[in-house]
Amino acid sequence: MASLTAKTKVKEERYRSLPAHLVICLIIAMSLWSRDSMRDVLKNLIDGVSEAWVKVGKYWRIPCKSAITQARQRLGAGVMRQLFHQLVQPMANSETIGGFLNGLRIVVIDGTCLDIPDSDENARVFGRPGSRPGTRAAFPKVRLVILVEAGTHLIFDALMCPYKIGERVRSLKLLRSVTSSML
C-alpha cells in the first residue's frame, strides 16, 4: 500500500489517527458493511486486525465522522483506482463454464446508470436525464461502463462518465484492457 500512496503522491506529513493504509482498508470494508456508518465500519475493521499491522494505541478512539471524511478526501480516488488496476485481473481457467470459446477468453462490455446525491456539483459534472419541459429529474445520474469476464462475472475494468455520454462511446476506452487472447 505504501507504493500505491507513493505513486499517487499521497503524502503523510505527520502521524495521523487514520493513516493512508487504514483509510484504504476502510474504503474496501465499507462495501462489506454497506449499511453501517463509517465509524461503525472503522470499529469493525480495527477490532479485526492485528496490533502489529495497525498500532492504534491503548487510548485510541474512533475519529469523528468529519475526520473520517477528511481522511478519505486526503487519500483521493487515484489510490483506489491504482489498487483496482493493480489487483483485479480475469480469473477464469479452462474449467470455468462460459469462460472460453475456441481458446479465447470471453469478455463483455455492459453499462448502467446510477442515481447520485443531489448536489449542484454532481448535476454540473454528471448531468441529469431529460424530463418534461419546466421540470427536472430528481437526481443527477452517472453512467457506469464495465468490462466483465463472462465466465466469472468479474469486473476487470470500469469507468464512470457524465450521463449524457453514451455507453457505446465510452466503451471504446475499455478496449485498453482487451488483449488478443480475448473475444
Rounded distance between C-alpha atoms, residue 145 and residue 157, angstroms: 9
Q: What's the mean pLDDT when you consider all of the chain?
A: 88
Residue after which a domain boundary falls, among 23, 57, 85: 85
Residue 152 lies in a domain: yes
pLDDT tens-digit readout, 140-178: 999 999 999 999 999 999 999 999 999 999 999 999 999
Residue 138 lies in a domain: yes
The backbone torsions φ and ψ at residue 149, rounded to the nearest 5 degrees and listed phi first, read -80, 120
Residue after which a domain boundary falls, among 37, 62, 85: 85
Domain of 77, in residue numbers: 2-85
Residue 141 lies in a domain: yes
Residue after which a domain boundary falls, among 54, 85, 116: 85
Residue 39: DSSP 8-state: H
Residue 94 lies in a domain: no
Q: What is the mean pLDDT of each run of 10 residues along the chain (183 residues)?
A: 65 67 92 93 81 60 91 91 93 96 97 96 92 83 97 97 94 97 97
Same-domain check for residues 104 and 81 = no
Same-domain check for residues 45 and 109 = no
Angle between helices 65-75 and 38-48 (to 10 degrees): 80
Q: What is the pLDDT of residue 58?
A: 61
Same-domain check for residues 73 and 104 = no
Q: What is the pLDDT of residue 132?
A: 76
Same-domain check for residues 112 and 78 = no
Same-domain check for residues 65 and 104 = no
What is the number of domains present in the chain?
2
